[in-house]
Amino acid sequence: SSLRQSVDVNLLLRDASEITHFVWRDRAELQGIVIDVVKDFAEVPPILANPSELRRAFVALLLNAIEAVPEGGLITLRTERKGNQVIVSFSDNGAGMRGDVRMGAPQSFFTTKEPPHLGLGLTLVANIIADHFGTLTIDSQPHNGTLVTVSLPVAQDSPAEKGDSTMLVHRPANVLVIDNDSSVRTLLARLLKIQGHTV
């Protein structure tokens, strides 16, 4: 996680949206529901981040939002700058969480849904955000949707480590992905390919 570089969070959110596209568009249409993912991006300064780790966190948060709207709905991805922080928010108009569930969410792989996708629970997300000196807040009311806000510090003027401009791993591997759920296979394959592996 020490491979830090100057990163535009808007690009990582676009990646996350593309990676999960087959879930929120293709599978949703198969089930006869409509999920809209709206991107409300501001021009924000770069942050210093490990792009593959942060992208992983964004994918997990987007999947959580998708799971929160099983009957279809609206998910909004928003970015803005507040002082020396870049604010990234994921909001959905789904069922929301009870207060006791909300309090337990980041501390554990607590889920009110089916077994969590890929095991990428909020614990992992919280750890990745903390590793980037950021904060994660969840604001959710029953029947009123959920707003997850990630706050990350703006990169200081110090240049990012040179030679780290590529997002590929240094030692690409050949990876065999096996899972009885085709959507999990597809998602894992996309995540691994983005990191430079052959699946």
Strand, coil or helix: 37: strand
Higher pLDDT, 160 or 124: 124
Within 13 Å and on the Cβ side, how many CA atoms surround 97?
24
Q: Given this model, what pLDDT does residue 157 score?
A: 62
- What lies within 8 Å, CB to CB, of 166 at 6+ separation is none
pLDDT over 80 at 96, yes or no: no
Tell me the C-alpha distance between 34 and 24, whole Å: 8
Burial class (CB in 10 A: 0-12, 13-18, 19+), 33: middle
CB–CB of 47/125 below 8 Å? no
Q: Given this model, what pLDDT does residue 158 score?
A: 42
For the segment 60-88, what is each residue's pLDDT rounded down to a tens digit? 999 888 888 888 899 999 999 999 999 99
For the segment 137-168, what is each residue's pLDDT rounded down to a tens digit? 888 777 778 899 999 999 986 444 343 444 44
Pairing of strands 5-7, 47-49: antiparallel
Element (H, E) at 89: strand 85-92
Prediction pTM value: 0.70
**% of the chain at pLDDT higher than 90:** 37
Pairing of strands 146-153, 47-49: unpaired
Tell me the C-alpha distance between 12 and 52, whole Å: 9
Strand, coil or helix: 32: coil
For the segment 26-37, what is each residue's pLDDT rounded down to a tens digit? 777 888 888 899
